Amino acid sequence: MGGAGSRMAGLIAALAVLAILVLLSIAVGAKPIAPATVLDALLHYDRTLNDHLIVRSLRLPRTEVALLVGAALGLGGAVMQGVARNPLADPGILGVNAGAALMVVIGIYVFGIASLYGYVWFAFAGAAGASVAVYAIGSLGREGATPIKLSLAGAAITVFLGSITTAILLLDVATLDQYRFWAVGSLAGRDAQIATSMAPFILVGVLIALACGPALNALALGDDMARGLGQRVGLARAGSAVGVVILCGAATAAAGPIGFVGLVVPHVARLLTGPDYRWILPYSMVLAPILLLAADIVGRVIIRPAEMQVGIVTAAIGAPFFVWLVRRRNLAEL
């Protein structure tokens, strides 16, 4: 894409598409609701009308969670790929999914947590704790947190935590039955309480991540060049990692481990904007909710009146798209 004007125009167009998908997300489902009724429910809520209840108590909170989770995954994935200088980085690379999964299982098995709202806080704590552990291990040594060390630490922590999770699940079938509904990645059943609880964390993560744009541009040139430009590499990586932990931890806690959103969307943003992270980050923050809402809408209608979980749909969309993307361009250029 050309200069700042065209990039801004593209971002505005993406926001318009997102607004349309928000309305579709509220209108489309097992019971279609006319757009006029949706707007009436939003502007003149009447709890005695069944369609208004569906809009306000079920579909609006679900859409709000999708917006928050999508923005967090897209932005977190972009920052993660920048700080790790790894085009295949996703929330799994810093142990986010593994830590969240383990704590959800512990919450069910040890504490008897049975509600989705209860899972959220265990998942967030596990995601944050595992990510901090990965960064601490990857920072050991004279070179600090290099991309290779972070990737290796993330892989080791993921395998270690995954083995503990599997061992607990094999011990208790009831825990497995409850856990699998969270692990598939879904927006169904997410209520306003979850959106309200996660919003402050995601807002803080968004502010941190957007502020990291100039630092990520410097890091993309290599550590030595970044230092030559006056960038404090260790501080830049630490700040970026904090943003990733908050964003991906909150998103995974709220909706489960949804794959490919944080992996694919930053590449699409990069194709549209070029290598400047000051544009990649806001584009990723808008494009990811577009993908997530579109996948959620498809999941609701493809096997109506049943529903396909959004994590399955994003995998079905994201996997072939990413293969095409890698084949189209040299992976080193992504």
Question: 243-260, pLDDT tens digit by residue?
Answer: 988 898 889 888 888 988
What pLDDT is stored for residue 2 in this prediction? 60
Rounded Cα distance between 112 and 99, Å, is: 18
Q: How many CB atoms lie within 10 A of CB 316?
A: 16
Domains of the chain: 4-333 (1.10.3470.10)
User: Helix, strand or coil for residue 186?
Assistant: coil
Quote the Cα angle for 144-148-151, to 5°. 105
pLDDT of residue 245: 83
- 132 DSSP 8-state letter: H
26/293 Cα distance (integer angstroms): 10
Tokens of residue 222, six digits? 């290599």
Residue position matching structure tokens 């890698």: 326
Owner of token pair 């318009």: 16
Residue 82 has pLDDT above 60, yes or no: yes
The string of pLDDT tens digits covering residues 35-80 is 899 999 989 999 889 999 999 999 999 999 999 999 999 999 999 8
Token code pair at residue 58 = 């079920």
Q: What is the pLDDT of residue 332?
A: 47
The DSSP code sequence of 191-217 is: -HHHHHHHHHHHHHHHHHHHHTHHHHH
In sign, the C-alpha dihedral spanning 26, 31, 34, 37 is negative
